[in-house]
Chains A and B, each alone.
Chain A
Amino acid sequence: DAGVIQSPRHEVTEMGQEVTLRCKPISGHDYLFWYRQTMMRGLELLIYFNNNVPIDDSGMPEDRFSAKMPNASFSTLKIQPSEPRDSAVYFCASSPLRHTQYFGPGTRLTVL
């Protein structure tokens, strides 16, 4: 298996622009997680899905953030409009039931 795939790997955008991050989980994994990592706050869980259904989005910072999982092999995290404080590394991870998570390579987002 190729592991969790994320795209793009790097994104540089200007404040106010829409940003879409993409994730393909490992086939057969029931859970998908979106995280944000910064030096100041460490690894923060934004939202997670079980069988394509959002279970807990309490970590989503505000309405500018939204996430979807239209099918078992694809998820998106969208920021609209983006702000400089959104600059971080965004990780997607997937997990089979009752097991640990496997992380993708991350997307480094810079908002100017």
Chain B
Amino acid sequence: QKEVEQNSGPLSVPEGAIASLNCTYSDRGSQSFFWYRQYSGKSPELIMSIYSNGDKEDGRFTAQLNKASQYVSLLIRDSQPSDSATYLCAVRAPGNQFYFGTGTSLTVIP
């Protein structure tokens, strides 16, 4: 079993819709969770971090964490073509190791 699992997609949504990206993790002791965005040919860029159960909102982005279900999600409201990228879920394990999912490719169709 992989430490972090994501649906690889591709996920396509029309412009203005809500994009929903999901991630599960295996280490129950993990405390820190992150979403990175990676444009083609670029390095991963942090867009959200979340540490406690519930929702965290930042502009059009909302991260959701459910530690009991070992589930993290990212919602992108009012999706824009510029949101088209690969989104990586990352988990910081108790030993300070980072584990990344393989990423979900998102395409926002104008």
Contact = CB atoms under 8 A, between A and B. Distances in A.
Contacts of B88: 43
Contacts of A104: 43
Interface residues of B, number: 20
Interface stretch (A13-21, A70-78, A80-88, A95-103): A95-103
Contact of A56 (B49, B97, B100, B103): B97
B32 interface: yes
A1 to B, nearest CB: 15
Contacts of B103: 42-43
Interface in A19-67: 31, 33, 42-43, 45, 48, 50, 55-56
A98 B49 CA distance: 12
A100 B46 contact: yes
Give the most central of B34, B92, B95, B96: most A CB within 10 Å.
B96
B58 to A, nearest CB: 14
A106 B102 contact: no
A104 to B, nearest CB: 6
A86 B32 CA distance: 31
Given A43-B88, A100-B32, A50 B96 contact: yes
Contacts of A91: 43-44
B61 interface: no
A104 B88 CA distance: 16
Contact of A42 (B43, B46, B96, B102): B102
- Select the residue from A55, A98, A100, A103 with max chain B CB neighbours within 10 A: A100
A42, A48, A55, A103 — most chain B CB neighbours (10 Å): A42
27 contacts: A33-B98, A42-B101, A42-B102, A42-B103, A43-B44, A43-B100, A43-B102, A43-B103, A45-B97, A45-B99, A48-B96, A48-B97, A48-B98, A50-B96, A56-B95, A56-B97, A91-B44, A98-B32, A100-B46, A100-B90, A100-B92, A101-B46, A101-B98, A104-B43, A105-B42, A105-B43, A106-B43
